[in-house]
């Protein structure tokens, strides 16, 4: 298992980022057993989420508005907005997990 306090990230994972005006894609490659485990169990899903958000400008803009609102209010969000944000996150995670299988 990779542990950030004991393993230097650069020794275990290499990544490539490609960015255009509208999109950003990150590709992670594990160079050790710990790095490959980290890529398969976490970074692959983070990359998929990043692609999902960045490929949908309306979703990206909506998430930015929510993040800005939360930052302006020191992390506090109205309960309905917080519930929506959590539900959206769960839905995205399900879609990613179904697509990765």
CA atoms of 67 and 76, how far apart (whole Å) = 10
Write down the pLDDT at residue 101: 57
Spans of all domains in the chain = 1-44, 56-101
Write down the pLDDT at residue 3: 79
Per-residue pLDDT of the chain (101 residues; tens, 9 = 90+): 777 788 888 999 999 998 888 778 889 999 999 999 999 888 988 888 888 888 888 988 888 898 898 889 888 888 988 899 899 989 988 988 887 65
Q: Give the predicted TM-score (pTM) of the model.
A: 0.69
Write down the pLDDT at residue 37: 92
Burial 12-35 (b: 16+ CB within 10 A, else e): bbeeeeeeeeeeeeeebebeeebb
């Amino acid at each position: 298992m990779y542990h950030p306090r004991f393993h230097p990230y650069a020794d275990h994972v290499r990544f490539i980022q490609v960015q255009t005006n509208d999109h950003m894609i990150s590709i992670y490659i594990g160079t050790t057993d710990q790095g490959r485990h980290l890529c398969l169990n976490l970074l692959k899903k983070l990359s998929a989420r990043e692609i999902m958000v960045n490929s949908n400008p309306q979703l990206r803009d909506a998430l930015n508005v929510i993040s800005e609102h939360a930052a302006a209010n020191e992390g506090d969000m109205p309960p309905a907005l917080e519930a929506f944000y959590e539900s959206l996150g769960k839905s995205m995670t399900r879609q990613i997990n179904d697509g990765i299988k």
